[in-house]
Amino acid sequence: MTAPQPTTLLVAETVADVRAAVTVMRRAGRSVGFVPTMGALHAGHVSLIEQAREECDFVVVSIFVNPTQFGPNEDFNRYPRPRERDLELCANAGADLVFYPTVDTMYPPGHRTFVEVSGLSDVLEGQIRPGHFRGVATVVTKLFLIVLADKAFFGQKDYQQQMLIRVMTRELNLPTEIVTCPTLRDPDGLAMSSRNAYLSATERQAGLCLSQALRLAERSFASGECDVKQVEAAMRGMIEATPGAVLDYAVVVHSETLCPLATAEPEMVALIAARFGTTRLIDNAVFIRK
């Protein structure tokens, strides 16, 4: 695969400008790919843009730090916003247009309409972060209706999020195909995340226990272990034994419903979340048994 060539990047701050640009592409018979982000881009985001570039003719990236998906004690105000660096990465990865809306553009004064996906919004991340997925579902629906892309690209690292968006898109008959791309990792195994920048050197080293616990689960299932609870206990034990790690959950669930499992199934997903200092990290691994 050849590396994408830098494009002449358009930056739009209004809904009308995005729709006008997309309409021109549609009339020319060109396909539209979309990568929604909150900025602070890293190599994982870049890989999504490059995948969109490979599969679609015109690539739109949104950069919007969405206030409705942050809880009252979360990091909305300190979330990094390196605009110029983000735009440079978008251009180098092959994006054609970046949508950079304001909060008032996405949520006009008096905004009172929200989207919720019951069930998937209430477990795991949704249970720990009440209201988070309502914010995610709402902003993604709004972005989808603005861009009306053929395909939208998400990372597997946010597994529950991409599953929720798949369900939401299907049930609302939104005309966008969801493409989930593999998690990118640093050489030591840590899943790439904008929040990794918050970690101290000691915390970052401790954070490796997440990917190590996932590999432990993978080895257990590969060796023939069928008792899911035993595997979960082993993952929890590894993380809880790591100095500085505060575990939220380590579970193996159905890969589509996210329902708990007692025994191994042909396709499962291990989901992990833990805190390291003031930073919360998540990770996952999909297991397919033949």
Q: Which of 42, 45, 132, 254 is catalytic?
A: 45
Place of tokens 């034990």: 237
What DSSP line would sit under 62-104, residue for residue? EE---GGGS-TTSSTTTS---HHHHHHHHHHHT-SEEE---HH
CA distance 231 to 269: 12
Encoded tokens for 174? 């939104």
DSSP-assigned letter for residue 243: T
Nearest to 208 by CA among 189, 231, 180: 189
CA distance 89 to 92: 5
Q: Has 45 been annotated as catalytic?
A: yes
What DSSP line would sit under 200-227, residue for residue? -HHHHHHHHHHHHHHHHHHHHHHTT--B
Angle at which helix 43-55 crosses helix 83-93, to 10 degrees, equals 40
DSSP-assigned letter for residue 158: S
3-state secondary structure of 40: coil
Nearest to 69 by CA among 168, 138, 146, 141: 138
CA distance 166 to 174: 10
Residues in the chain: 290
Q: Give me the active site residues, please.
A: 45
